[in-house]
Chain A
Amino acid sequence: MTASGSRLILPLAALFFACFVAPLLVLLALSLHSDVAMKAWTIGNYAKFFTDPFNYSILVDTLLLGVKATLVCLIFGYPIAWLCARASARWQSVLLFLVILPILTSVVVRTFAWIVILGRQGVLNQIAMGLGLVHEPLRLLNTEMGVVMVLAQVQMPLMVLPILTVLSKMDPNLADASRVLGAGEWRTFWKVTLPLSLPGIIAGCILTYSANITAFVTQSLIGGARLIYMPLHIYQQAVGANNWPFAAAISIIFMMAVIAVVAVLSVFARASETYGRA
């Protein structure tokens, strides 16, 4: 490509510099000051975050929430991808359409639907009580279990799509060879298909994990005001308490946590790609 071709990147690069990099640098600078006037540098905001168990536990809760919701996505998403990879082209389109539908429907609308489903008089409680499984309505809204369920539904497509990509590129001869050599279906799955699909699983985990822990709308509408996760914490400090420097510090800490998780998973992803070739 000629130099003139590379120059096509400049408009977007300029926009990102002015509207993404610069604001993030200002955010970082503000987090290192005690007030918005930004007179004297301090690490007080960070010290405050890490010495107060309340703040610290919100970070831990958020990171754990992501693990739980991502596991649910994986347990239910992998079978869908597996089924899709085996379906005829026509059924594959139908299945994919159904999988993509939720991610494209407005997140506010989806969360609203879940309030109708999870409420005390909601669909789930009606079914459970109708079947005699429980005698009084379960509390699902404003609980962590409710948040995990809804997050898993909302982010499931992000898990299914990368796994499907890997599964449909996989050489079917490998699984056939395993069967010819006498391994049953389950053994072939655990020893051949699953390890070979690790790059897709990890890519899916990166996408769903970061989406789960940053999902402000779902977390705050289903979790309510009592269950506080990092995005709501930032919002409350910035808008409710009007403490911009501290909110900036929380934002930086949260971003660093997301980057750290993504970096670790990316290392695993690179290692897993060599598995098939080894």
Chain B
Amino acid sequence: MAERNSIQWDAVSIKLVFGLLSAVALVFLIAPTVIVLITSFTASQSLKFPPQSLSLRWYTALWDADQMQRAAWHSLVIASWTTVISVVLGTAASLAIARSRSPLLRAADLVFMSPLLLPALAFGFAALIFVNKLGFTPSISFIVLGHVIVCVPFVLRTTLAALSQLDPALLEASESLGGSAWMTFRRVTLPLISSGVGAGAFLAFMASFDNVPVSLFLADERSEVLPIHLWQQIETNLDVRTAAASGLIVMFTLVLMLIAEKFAGLTRQMR
């Protein structure tokens, strides 16, 4: 009997410990998002939480925040270009890497993935020196190129994962039926890997929209991007409009995530 009890206690205690740690971790993960959303609806001048009363005044104040709007527009344009270029080049490269055993292509894959691990700030600085040495001045085009380098790994990762699930017999069937390489890609491969590519595109877009370390060196006053604008606002004067802008970004992220989950099965792709 004592033996039986000890076994049950063993099973209960492991669930209790792991459950408690997970619960703490989940609160820890979600709390900041919830708090920033609630704070953004405050009616007062301060960022005190919980707010005394709620209002939309800081959201309406965003209408007049010209500088912030311009920065948001730059970020959208840059993130869109970055996503398009990353998806086209990344998908093409994935097709080559997925079906090859050549050590050269494996090495290339390692180089393409390295921006995920290396300090992006050091790369941003290197990019600034390079642009400067070539005699150019930083501009939006250079920001896009810099962002592609740090965002393309997301497209490669999800697309390569999708390609590894692809049955090669389908491609052989298409080829033996006389389909050209392009037609096989367009009609067979692409539809089967589209959710992998889609999830990668979404991650690349978010990574570019949120990038600070690369933009910090390549952007100037004319090409200021949203995260840097907000970062400077937070460092200098904690203005409640920053909270409203943050609230908008959180809602925008949530909506995009739900869309990505519905059409590309985001949570499945990220595993």
Name A residues whose Cβ lies closer than 8 Å to a Cβ of B.
1, 4-9, 11-13, 15-16, 19-24, 26-27, 30, 75-77, 79-80, 82-83, 92-93, 95-102, 104-117, 121-123, 126, 152-153, 156, 161, 164-165, 168, 184-186, 189, 206-207, 210, 213-214, 216-217, 221, 230-231, 234-235, 238, 244, 247-248, 251-252, 254-255, 258-259, 262
Contacts and interface: CB of A to CB of B under 8 A. Distances in A.
Contacts of B41: none
Contacts of B26: 80, 95, 98
B212 A8 contact: no
Contacts of B17: 79
Interface in B249-266: 249-250, 253-254, 257, 261, 266
A18 to B, nearest CB: 8
Contacts, number: 272
B33 interface: yes
B126 A104 contact: no
A213 to B, nearest CB: 8
B24 A76 contact: yes
Interface in B20-59: 21-22, 24-26, 28-33, 35-36, 39, 47-49
B253 A20 contact: no
Given A6-B102, A210-B117, A235-B216, A24 B123 contact: yes
Nearest to B247: A109
Shortest 10 CB-CB contacts between residues of A and residues of B: A113-B32, A76-B25, A251-B122, A23-B130, A27-B126, A184-B10, A9-B96, A79-B21, A214-B119, A23-B126
Given A9-B97, A11-B92, A13-B108, A214 B120 contact: yes
B111 to A, nearest CB: 6
A117 B231 contact: no
A98 B31 contact: no
Contact of A100 (B99, B130, B212, B270): B270
A207 to B, nearest CB: 8
A9 B230 contact: no
A112 B246 contact: yes
B7 A5 contact: no
Nearest to B31: A117
Contact of B121 (A104, A206, A231): A231
B29 A6 contact: no
Contacts of A221: 231, 234-235
Contacts of B108: 9, 13, 16
Contact of A97 (B92, B93, B231, B261): B261
A107 B10 CA distance: 40
A76 B118 contact: no
Interface in B115-143: 115-123, 125-130, 133
Given A77-B25, A106-B210, A12 B89 contact: yes
Contacts of B115: 20
A245 B252 CA distance: 41
Contacts of A112: 36, 230, 234, 242-243, 246
A8 B96 contact: yes
B169 interface: no
Interface in B138-173: 145-146, 148-149, 152
B181 interface: yes
